[in-house]
Structure 1
Amino acid sequence: MALRHVAALKWSRELTESETREINQAMDLYVSTAVQPRSYSHGPDIGGKFGTFDYVLIADFDSEDEFLAFNSDPLHDAVRAVLAGKVAKAEFVQFDTEWPGDRT
């Protein structure tokens, strides 16, 4: 089963440019040193719609085991530390990209 992990984050307040840069750098550093997903992208919302989330991460893995290793890697705690106090709400979804309903 190939797996896609989606994380959507809502900030607790408006972040500074420096804080946003720090988050981007932490996520880039983590993926460069941790279990490597097949694909990985993240970034801030470009705006335009009220009530959306502020930041999203999407990572594809070849198996559920790879995702679990990625999620439990101790280096993940460094990203969590950068996000601490900045996230009001986080939503996560993992789904099988080989499910017959996915035709993209």
Structure 2
Amino acid sequence: MIRHIVLFTWTDEATDEQKAAVAAGLAELPGLIPQIRAFTASADAGINQGNADFAVVADFDSEDDYLVYRDDPRHQAVIAERIKPILASRAAAQLRL
């Protein structure tokens, strides 16, 4: 199993509407990409200062399933159209479970 973890920090200029559009776009992906086994995408809870603004945790049965998700044009569209315009920084890791 592969667990994909991504942390995003938004630019200071990012609007609430843009942030909501990211969340909405990502929330659609589990219904569109059957290789996704589990998926959580959410804004940080704001408990600790210095955290990233938004996180995605997605599980896949195999590396091949992760690659299908990674390269899916609908996923790539969310990145290009909604995430990149407000992205200040990104960190990611793929874990073997």
For the residue of structure 2 that corresponds to 1:6, the secondary structure is strand
Within a 5 Å distance, the mapping from 1:1-104 to structure 2 comes to 2-13=1-12, 15-80=14-79, 81-97=81-97
Q: SS at the partner of 2:12? A: coil
Q: Unaligned regions of 5+ residues in structure 2, if any?
A: none
RMSD across aligned positions (CA):
1.4
Matched residue pairs, number?
96
Could you list the per-position Cα deviations for residues 28-80 of structure 1 after superposition, in whole angstroms to 9, with x for gaps in the alignment? 12232124311000100011222110000000000000001100111112211
CA–CA distance in 1 between the matches of 2:50 and 2:13? 14
Give the greater-gyration-radius structure (CA): 1
For 1:100, the equivalent position in structure 2 comes to none
Unaligned runs of 5+ in 1: 98-104
Q: Which has the higher helix share?
A: 2
| Letter of the 1:42 counterpart | A
Higher strand share: 2
